[in-house]
Structures are given as structure tokens and as C-alpha cells.
Amino acid sequence: MPCDGGYQAEILANSGLPEGDCPGDARVDETAGDTCCALEGSYAADDLPGHMK
């Protein structure tokens, strides 16, 4: 995806899940939320488009 095009989201981190069977959508959502919340303070979001603030 070109950086000069429009977008509605950005990748903040790459997080893994435990080995084994697929944990299901709820566990994936929880892990993603926990990861994003833990990292949000380290993200420089000063230049985010208005719709992403």
C-alpha cells in the first residue's frame, strides 16, 4: 500500500497467539486490544487524520 494514499488504520504492532488450536475471535480481539492498549503511549499520533483521532 503506498504511503501517500488514503487509509483508515495503521499497524502499531505485530503480536502472536499461543501455540495450539485457534482460540476464537473473542480471544484474538482481547489479545489485540491488550497489545494496543499497552503500546498506545509509545505511538506518535500527532499527524493522524481527523477521522482517526
Of residues 25 and 9, which shows the higher confidence score?
25
**What value does the mean pLDDT take over residues 30-35?**
88
22 pLDDT higher than 80: yes
Residues 27 and 31: their CA atoms lie apart, in Å, by 6
Closest CA to 16 of 39, 2, 32, 4: 32
Residue type, 7: Y
Residues 31 and 36: their CA atoms lie apart, in Å, by 9
CA distances from 11 to 2, 20, 22, 47 (A): 14, 25, 22, 15
> What is the pLDDT at residue 41?
76
> What is the pLDDT at residue 53?
53
